[in-house]
Chain A
Amino acid sequence: MSTVTHAPAVPRSSAFKRFFTAREIPVAGALIALIVVTYIINPRFLSPQSTKDLMLNATIMVILAVAQALVIITRNVDLSVGAILGLAAFGTGTVFDMFPSIPLVLIFVIGMIFGGLLGSINGMLVTSAKVPALVITLGTLYIFRGVLSSWAGSKQYFSGDNPKAFGNLSVDTLVGIPIITIIAVVITVAVAMFMSSVRSGRDLYAIGSDPDAARLFGIPVGGRVLSAFIACGALTGLAGVLYASRYNSVGALTGSGIELDVVAAVVVGGVAIFGGSGTVAGAAIGAVLLSTITGALTATRVDKFWQQAIVGVLILAAIIIDRVVSLRRARKLRVNEAKNV
């Protein structure tokens, strides 16, 4: 409270300093260090083909992490994303099977609407039943996966079944960057700008830091949380469509088990698991970091079995760093307040 009133009295930290204390810096630093070290050990790690593969592998994870970050910032979580991704990916295959000549734009719209609908089921259950999202989305994780399994059965759609132009989205490049990666970057930038400068985006942070205070302040908490879930579902649906473009086959098991990886990427990216702080850009960097590790380990000939253990260590390191930073910041605030009394 008093920090706000005394803010002008405190020497304003320079833009330079603010940049280096941002929450994304540790993870971005880790990513750069990883790439540099791997490149020094094995220069072929950054060959054009290998770079393209790295970007392609990160694309879907980035979109999923951005979507998940929206929900986690509001102090919720969506565990059903793996199943939504699978449904959207299989749905894409089905639509192409029925209407082979459908315009590509339309398939993205359908995927996003489909995902948004599934997200709205989560959102409505969370906001109207007032039950933690962790439980609800654990339930819908099973339900959506069950629906997908009974819909798909043993059927699979292969990339050969899709129109050539659709598959080319993950092959063609623009100035060396695959088209679907550009889509992911555009989405990340758009959502990041929304979260940092649009009022309803800032509301999501307020809700995540203290839902009761946000309600007292006049923020329509239920509506905002519902929209966050719908947005998360829609972006996950989009990721599902891109998944169908990127990977060879989609079926009943597409995307299973991916939910915890996504949450891990978001946490590594500096988004607090209990909401209120972190950025979608951080979450996106976290996703890139986690998916780059695989490639880096292969390039440096580290035993592939170490990969998952290293991911685990990274997640723990991210949480510990976050904790240390926030404790420090809290102490600094207290000291500053004491000086201003």
Chain B
Amino acid sequence: MSKAITTNSRGQWSRRLIGHDAVIFYILISVVIISMVTVNYFASTLTVGFLLIQVLPILLIAMPMALVIVSGEIDLSVASTAGLTSATMGVLWRDSGLDIGTVMALSLLVGVLCGAFNGFLITTLGLPSLAVTIGTLALYRGLALVVIGDQKVASFPKELNAFVLSKIGNTGIPVMMIFALIVIVFFAVLLHFTPFGRGLYALGYSPQAATFVGVRVGHAKFWMFVATGIVSSMVGIFLTLRLASAGPDNGTGLELSVIAAVLLGGVSIFGGKGNIPGVVGGVLLIGTLTYALRLAKVPETALIIVTGGLLVLSVVSPSVIAWGKERIRLNRVHREVQGQSASGITRA
């Protein structure tokens, strides 16, 4: 209760300015400024283009993933869903003779089915999402291999490949960012401005309590996993067109990068905490740092250490700060008690 009082008196804005997601943006801005000054060629429109195209898959999947983690679940099968989509798209395009629009629509259906299957196992059967999605991680990647074998399909329309890589005017910003922005706004509104989104926070704090206040827990979880599946499929299609190649191994290993970025963005792995701006900041921070270090000719291997270090630091530092605060509080209580006993009040 005392906590609630202090936060109220501090005011909403000052709280926002020292929150975790704000800190992420301060770090992001400092990284950008430092890189612009110290790293050659960083301050150019080319940077914007390359950087954004690089982080786009992680940025897209991070949106539904943030919602899933806020609701206290996790989805490790996203990269495999993207791979299965890519494989399906390749085979459909090669063998079915349908036009590319239909092929892409059918490929998106793969994501819907993958997500719905995850959702079914987790909500209807009540299985833990961590275990289920480790299983479907293997299953979907395996199905991708079944669908396409070890072949590649690369004969996609050239205009489409070019479109995916095209930039808006000469700003350097990829056209695909407009699409990404739509996805970000969609999930931000869904999480922050709808009863459904507020329900996800309640769900993350306590599923029982959420049930009692009328959140349709199973229903909400199911659709979260479907949404994750759809977005993963979009990323599968995007990767296929960007690389101009459909194969079973597209997107391998993406799941851990996405989760790292989401957690760095301040979403609590326990659920119930986190927001979309923070996650966008987290994704951009990892992306920018990686890109700047790469331009500065820091070896690739050091980059992985930086990603891991950032992740550990971002989760350990709140605990350290909380521990420090608790120590200070305990010291104060200790002193007060001592003061009281010194003034003559002894045990009753």
- Supposing A129-B320, A141-B308, A316-B132 touch, asked if A149 and B142 sit within 8 A by C-beta, the answer is no
A292 CB to nearest B CB, Å = 16
Q: Please report which residues of chain A, range 249-274, place their CB below 8 angstroms from some CB of chain B when the two chains form the complex.
A: 252, 257, 260, 263-264, 267, 273-274
Most B CB atoms within 10 A — which of A129, A135, A306?
A: A135
The answer to whether B305 touches A264, judged by C-beta atoms less than 8 angstroms apart, is: no
Interface-side segment among B99-107, B185-193, B294-302: B294-302
In the complex, what distance in Å separates the CA atom of A132 from the CA atom of B74?
Answer: 13
Minimum C-beta distance from A120 to chain B (A): 15
Q: Does A146 contact B (CB under 8 A)?
A: yes
Report A-chain residues with C-beta under 8 Å of the C-beta of B145.
Answer: 305-309
A141 CA / B255 CA spacing, docked (Å): 13
Distance between Cα atoms of A7 and B279 in the complex (Å): 52
**Category for how many chain B residues contact A:** 35 or more
Least CB distance, B338 to chain A, in whole angstroms: 28
- Collect the chain B residues with CB atoms within 8 Å of residue A150's CB: 299, 301-302, 305
Which of the candidate stretches B133-141, B157-165, B171-179, B214-222 sits at the interface with the other chain? B133-141
Which residues from chain B contact A138 at a C-beta distance below 8 Å? 256, 259-260, 263, 308, 311
Question: Which residues from A are CB-within-8-Å of B140?
Answer: 312
Question: How distant is A274 from chain B, measured CB to nearest CB, in Å?
Answer: 6
Residue in B141, B143, B312 whose Cβ sees the most chain A Cβ within 10 Å? B312
Taking a contact as CB atoms under 8 Å apart, the answer to whether B304 and A309 are in contact is no
Closest Cβ of chain A to B241, distance in Å, is: 24
Residues of A contacting B270 in the complex (Cβ-Cβ under 8 angstroms): 132
Q: Which residue of B lies closest to A317 (CB)?
A: B135
Q: Is the CB of B142 within 8 A of A311?
A: yes
Say whether A273 contacts B300, CB under 8 Å.
Answer: no
A252 and B304 CA atoms in complex are apart in Å by 13
Our pick among B139, B150, B300, B319 for the contact of A309 (Cβ within 8 Å) is B139
Given the interface pairs A145-B304, A307-B142, the reply to whether A312 lies near B136 with Cβ below 8 Å is yes
Q: Across the interface, do A316 and B139 meet the contact criterion of CB distance under 8 Å? A: yes
Within 8 A of B (CB), among A145-186: 145-147, 149-150, 153
B137 to chain A, nearest CB (A): 6
The answer to whether B269 and A135 touch across the interface, beta carbons within 8 angstroms, is: yes
Contact with A along B119-156 (1 / 0, CB 8 A): 00100011110111011111111110110011000000
Tell whether, in the assembled complex, residue B142 and residue A310 are in contact, meaning their CB atoms are under 8 Å apart: yes
Which A306-327 residues have a C-beta within 8 angstroms of B? 306-313, 315-316, 319-320, 323
- What are the residues of chain B within 8 A of A252 when measuring CB–CB? 301
Which single member of A142, A260, A274, A303 contacts B308 (CB below 8 Å)?
Answer: A142
Contact assessment for B130 and A273 in the assembled complex, using a CB-CB cutoff below 8 Å: yes
> Could you say which interface size class chain A belongs to?
35 or more
Q: Decide yes or no whether B195 CB sits under 8 A from chain A.
A: no
Interface majority SS on B: helix, strand, loop or mixed? Answer: helix
In the complex, chain A residues whose CB is within 8 Å of the CB of B143 = 309, 312
Is B303 part of the binding interface, using a Cβ–Cβ cutoff of 8 Å?
yes
A287 interface hit (Cβ, 8 Å): no
Kindly state whether residue A28 has any CB partner on chain B within 8 Å.
Answer: no
Is B315 interfacial (CB-CB < 8 Å)?
yes
Q: Please determine whether A125 and B316 come into contact, CB atoms closer than 8 angstroms.
A: yes
**Chain B residues with CB below 8 A from A274, complex form:** 128
Q: What chain A residues lie within 8 Å of B125 (beta carbons)?
A: 320, 323
Alpha-carbon distance between A305 and B150 when the two chains are bound, in angstroms: 8
Q: How far is the CA of A153 from the CA of B300 in the complex (A)?
A: 10
CA separation between A70 and B17, bound complex, in Å? 43
CA distance A309 to B138 in the complex (A): 6
Set of chain A residues within 8 Å of B127, measured between Cβ atoms: 319-320, 323
Q: What per-residue 1/0 map shows which CB atoms of B226-268 lie under 8 Å from chain A?
A: 0000000000000000000000000001001001100100000
B-side contacts of A305, CB under 8 Å? 142, 145-146, 149-150
Q: Are A267 and B131 in contact (CB under 8 A)?
A: yes
B315 touches A131 (CB 8 A): yes
B131 touches A149 (CB 8 A): no
Cβ contacts under 8 Å, B11 to chain A: none
Mark interface residues in B293-331 (1 if CB within 8 Å of A CB, else 0).
000000111111111110110011001100000000000
Contact assessment for B134 and A267 in the assembled complex, using a CB-CB cutoff below 8 Å: yes
Q: How far is the CB of A71 from chain B (nearest CB, A)?
A: 14
Tell me if B285 counts as interface (CB < 8 A to partner A): no
Nearest B residue to A153 by beta-carbon distance? B301
Which of A136, A140, A260 is in CB contact (< 8 Å) with B76? A260
B303:A308 contact, CB within 8 angstroms: no
Decide if A315 touches B134 in the complex (CB within 8 Å): yes
Q: Which residues of B contact A103 (CB under 8 A)?
A: none
**Nearest 3 CB-CB pairings of A with B:** A312-B139, A142-B308, A309-B142
Q: A306-B146, A308-B139, A309-B142 are in contact. List 16 more A-B contacts (CB 8 A).
A: A129-B315, A131-B319, A132-B270, A134-B74, A136-B312, A138-B311, A139-B260, A140-B312, A142-B307, A150-B302, A273-B131, A303-B146, A305-B146, A306-B145, A312-B143, A316-B121
List residues of A whose CB falls within 8 A of some B CB.
79, 125, 129-132, 134-136, 138-147, 149-150, 153, 252, 257, 260, 263-264, 267, 273-274, 303, 305-313, 315-316, 319-320, 323
| 16 A-B pairs in the complex with CB atoms less than 8 angstroms apart | A131-B316, A132-B269, A135-B269, A139-B308, A139-B311, A142-B260, A150-B301, A252-B301, A260-B76, A260-B134, A264-B138, A305-B142, A305-B149, A307-B145, A313-B139, A316-B121
